[in-house]
Amino acid sequence: MNSTTSSTLTQIRLVISPYLPPPILNLIKSIDSNPRVRTYVEHEPSMCIVMALVAIYFLSMIARFITVKKKAVEGLDADDPEGQVLSNIQRGEYKDSVVLFGVCGSGKSVLFNKLANDGQSQEIQTVTSLKANVKVTDGGIRIIDYPGHITLSAKLPSLLMPDSSSSSGDTRALLVVDSTKPIVETASYLYQNVLTNLQLIRAWQNANKTLNVLVVCNKSDVPGAKNWRRIKIQLRTEIDKLMKISSSINNGMDNSDGRNLNDENHVNERFELIGKSIDLDDLSHNGVSNIKLSFVEVSCVNRNGINEVHAFIHKSTD
């Protein structure tokens, strides 16, 4: 140990000593005077040990952060994760399909586990998923838990289409919302993947059926959780903002070629909602007559609202 380092450690010891209790001071004195210890560290051995422990602590925290972050997004750097998201979907026999969707962390997987196991309590650990989970219940309902990562949202509308593979052709959806968090990301998710998806809306219009979406206000047992009415108000406010942004962009575009944004020939275009404000009670006021939203408060901990969700997934659409 060079003299500069030894002097620095001495200064640290002198600065912190007045704030340390007598037992700690006695321990420092004992370490520094121990001939065996001084064989390995001649100057300020106690401070060397303290600095080493501090360094180990910070290195372990950095390593833990990197490991957790890598686990949370594991697989996102794999080739074409979007192409693998539906690889678990089974095409067996079933009556109807129910799709759970929503942003990451909303509690979809816990709710899926409870619904797929007929409400039986089962402890599970969840991580950010890159593939949809699926199970066909004893009642013949195919329940799909779709991952919420934004990079995987493009294939969600394909699962929300009228299902010609099922015996009844019915599909329903659960939009799972974390009632304890801001609604901004969920509003954008709903707006982009459902309310303005032209292919999805046209498919339900052509089928002359209604896509029923139950907005599940999850984690209602957590202190500070918003009730379904508050969630509904905030959802409407955020979608109104998105509608205004979309309207401003479209008004600023050059449509001199006469292109209609709602033309079926332009399948990659967005559906343009009409009206100044979204009407979540009756979307037909916004030009969407074949999508219906309803709301329920749910807790997977105390089972609040679980019976209502069960009733929803086992009923037929209009």
> Does 318 map to a domain?
no
What was the pLDDT predicted at 219?
Answer: 94
Tell me: do 64 and 96 sit in the same domain.
no
Provide the 10 A C-beta neighbour count for residue 1.
Answer: 12
Asked if 140 and 158 sit in the same domain, the reply is: yes
177 assigned to some structural domain: yes
Q: Mark whether 36 and 123 lie in a shared domain.
A: no
Q: Are residues 98 and 189 in the same domain?
A: yes
Q: Based on the structure, what is the number of domains in the chain?
A: 2
Q: Cα(79)–Cα(56) distance, rounded to whole angstroms?
A: 36
**Residues 21 and 142 both lie in one domain:** no
- What integer pLDDT is reported at residue 125 of this predicted model? 47
- 165 and 231, same domain (yes or no): yes
- Is 70 exceeded by the pLDDT of residue 287? yes
Which amino acid does the sequence have at 10? T
Residues 112, 233, single domain; the answer is yes
Record the pTM.
0.67
**pLDDT higher than threshold 70 for residue 212:** yes
What CA–CA distance (Å, rounded) separates 47 from 9? 6
Residues 230 and 286 in one domain: yes
Q: Are both 208 and 243 inside the same structural domain?
A: yes
Same structural domain, 25 and 100: no
Domain limit, last residue, from 50, 72, 94: 72
The answer to whether residue 139 is domain-embedded is yes
pLDDT tens-digit map of 146-159: 888 877 888 889 88
Q: Which of 19, 45, 72 is where one domain is finished?
A: 72
Domain boundary (51, 72, 93) is at 72
Enclosing domain of residue 288: 81-251+261-313
- pLDDT-derived band at 67 (thresholds 50, 70, 90) equals low
- Output the pLDDT for position 128: 58
Q: What is the pLDDT of residue 23?
A: 84
Residues 36 and 183 in one domain: no
Q: Work out the angle at residue 137's Cα, subtended by the Cα atoms of residues 133 and 140, and round it to the nearest 5 degrees.
A: 115
| Token pair 């007559």 in the structure block, residue | 289
